[in-house]
Amino acid sequence: MELVKRKKKLLKRKKSTVSEIKILSKEVIKPREKEKVDPNFLLPTSSTLLNCACSDHPTGGYGVGKVANLIGDSSSGKSLLALSCFAEMCMSKRWDEYDFIYDDVEAALEFNLDYLFGTEVSDRIEMQTTSDTIQDFYGNIMATIHNGKPFVYILDSLDALTSVEELKRANSQAKRVTGEKTDKEKGSYKMEKPKMLTEVLRVVARDIKNIEGLLLIVSQTRDNIGFGFSEKTRSGGRALKFYSCHEMWLSIIKTLKGKGRAIGVNTNAKVSKNKITGKVRDCLFPIYYDYGVDDISSCVDFLIENGVWKMGKLKSVNPRTKTKGEGRTIQATDFKLEGTKAKIITEIELRSLEKDLQLLVGETWNNIEEACRLQRKPKYV
């Protein structure tokens, strides 16, 4: 208030200089310090950029005690990204008490978990929990909560869940074909699954928060039919959108190839709902079938794109050998490294600079976020 009074006095003075008023204006409208999220209550997504997009913090993205919805096109890396959360958590003692539950509704998990994530992850994941119907899922998530331990529960996927009512209709159809007598069916709009999901999330949301767990629901995108609608949608009704802390949409930007064969995908992740920061953000990262999320590569690209690391000119083709040069040289001044992207990645891995890279990306991300903030006086003080 004192600064505001001083500014009013200056404005009344006829001889007040413009520079004096400008300096005081900056003091008056200086934005209040933003409260940062505690990283101890953020679970890692396995992608530094996705962590930042979810929470503005490089080491964690999913909120502890929350429900998150991971939605993606077919083969966009949904299951690999979800399972990578377990691998990242195994790297910190902070999460040693957590149970890892993977509800493989699709019965399609054929990944070599030992090869991709290590034996510790494969040993800790509980694969016995399998839901066939939405009612089964209700019982399984409640049993997990009643166990009393913090957990990460991955439901893969919501689309593969059926319902008891749907099974009854299927049974009636089979009887009609064989000429058997069937019971009279009640009228239905086939809304049992969305209604039950609403009840499940309403009941378990507070319990998940109290027990500091995470429910990560994987969904498949569907093509939206009708004029004026967005191109993609997902099943589950409005309840899933309402109760989710994060809603993340994965889409394939490019198929990555080696020796003429597909070896992975370049995935775009758009955080369309965010209850932690309130921001809509997106990011790019590659996912390889035999490696998982390539976090280092995406971080290097991000630093180059934002001018933190410099990239030299592309080397010309050797006219004698008719072969291309080694590619563009990157100057990673922060790490005192110079070379092609492949060489920089190798050096980061050999020198165990992954954490330093993560922090540098986080600092760069937040510098950009700070530059985007409105430089105005707080409306409410």
Tally of CB atoms within 10 A around 224:
12
CB 204 within 8 A of CB 215: yes
Residues 66 and 180 grouped into a single domain: yes
Residues 253 and 306 grouped into a single domain: no
**Confidence band, pLDDT 50/70/90 cuts, at residue 232:** confident
Residues 54 and 179 grouped into a single domain: yes
> DSSP character for 212?
T
Residues 88 and 164 grouped into a single domain: yes
DSSP β-bridge partners for residue 265: 255, 287
Among residues 75, 48, 20, the alpha carbon closest in space to that of 301 is found at 48
Where in 159-199 does DSSP place strands (E)? Answer: none
pLDDT in tens, 16-55: 454 554 444 444 444 445 556 788 999 999 999 999 999 9
pLDDT in tens, 290-328: 999 999 999 999 999 999 999 887 665 555 544 444 568
User: How far is Cα 357 from Cα 111, in angstroms, rounded to an integer?
Assistant: 28
- Show the CA angle centred on residue 118, arms to residues 114 and 124, nearest 5°: 90
Residues 239 and 153 grouped into a single domain: yes
Residues 278 and 361 grouped into a single domain: no
Nearest 10 degrees: Cα torsion 196, 202, 208, 214: 60
pLDDT in tens, 324-372: 445 689 999 999 999 999 999 999 999 999 999 999 999 999 999 999 9
CB 49 within 8 A of CB 299: yes
> Could you say which of 266, 293, 320 is where a domain stops?
293
Environment class of residue 180 by beta-carbon count within 10 Å: exposed (0-12), middle (13-18) or buried (19+)?
A: exposed
Residue 238 belongs to a domain: yes
Residue 3 belongs to a domain: no
> DSSP character for 361?
H
CATH code of the domain containing 148: 3.40.50.300
Residues 176 and 317 grouped into a single domain: no
More confident residue, 133 or 170: 133
pTM of the model: 0.86
Residues 136 and 158 grouped into a single domain: yes
Range of the domain at 362: 295-381
Q: How many structural domains is the chain composed of? A: 2
Among residues 247, 192, 196, the alpha carbon closest in space to that of 221 is found at 247
> DSSP character for 41?
G
> Could you say which of 267, 293, 319 is where a domain stops?
293
pLDDT in tens, 44-80: 999 999 999 999 999 999 999 999 999 999 899 999 9
Residues 287 and 304 grouped into a single domain: no
Residue 24 belongs to a domain: no
> Could you say which of 264, 293, 322 is where a domain stops?
293
Residue 17 belongs to a domain: no
Q: Which amino acid is it at 257?
A: K
Residues 270 and 316 grouped into a single domain: no
More confident residue, 14 or 349: 349
Residue 212 belongs to a domain: yes
